[in-house]
Amino acid sequence: MKKLLLAASVFALTACSTPSEPQLTLTPQPVIAAQPLVQGKALALDSRDLRTAQFIAVVDSGRENVQPLHSTQNLRITLEQALSRQLASQGYTITADSQGTLRLDVLEAMVNVKHSVMSHDLSSKLQLQLVVETPTGKFIKRYSGKSERTGAMSASVEDMELAMNNLINAVLKDIYADQELNKYMQENL
């Protein structure tokens, strides 16, 4: 019994000390409006993650050595919270009991990294879809962004985080500045 307890303790300590896979921390910065666009317009906010793979980055070091990296937080929830803060600054009230609904669909979010001996290529893609449903109709629009960068040596986790955060921020700015979306929401909510 003592040997079994000792073996279990050693196994538990070994499991705690093994290095874990690196993860990306995403910190999107929504656009905060200086002046609200609307007053008292209520809408329900929902989101779905429709990606086929749940990791955020893929690092290809060659020789068939491919490593997927995940985010420290749930990407869908992170994007929904950022969009919620952005909409609240525009004057919208986010509430569960509203006749109008805005749904955020995450279609693609990926950082691809290819390492060679002396350099790396970093390619990022993000595609989001907004679906606004009101009693008078439906508005659907996709927002996407791409970025590519080449650097010396290997790409760090911070390089990958910066690439994805910058891409998310750019897409949030596009959503904020979209006149078609803003007009539809102002007229139909």
Q: What's the CATH code of the domain at 171?
A: 3.30.160
Report yes or no on 167 lying in a domain: yes
Report yes or no on 2 lying in a domain: no
State how many domains the chain has. Answer: 1
Report yes or no on 58 lying in a domain: yes
Report yes or no on 142 lying in a domain: yes
Give the model confidence (pLDDT) of 104-163 as tens digits: 999 999 999 998 878 999 999 999 999 999 999 999 999 999 999 998 888 899 999 999
Distance CA 181, CA 130 (A): 9
Please answer whether residues 4 and 52 qualify as being in contact, where contact means their C-beta atoms are separated by less than 8 angstroms: no
Report yes or no on 21 lying in a domain: no
Report yes or no on 62 lying in a domain: yes
Give CA angle at 185 (48, 96), nearest 5°: 50
Structural domain boundaries enclosing 163:
37-188
The closest alpha carbon to 109, from 129, 94, 95, 139, belongs to 129
- Residue 39 φ then ψ, to 5°: -130, 125
Given pLDDT bands bounded at 50, 70 and 90, which one contains residue 45?
Answer: very high
Report yes or no on 73 lying in a domain: yes
Report yes or no on 130 lying in a domain: yes
Element spanning 183, H or E: helix 179-188
Q: What is the pTM of this model?
A: 0.86
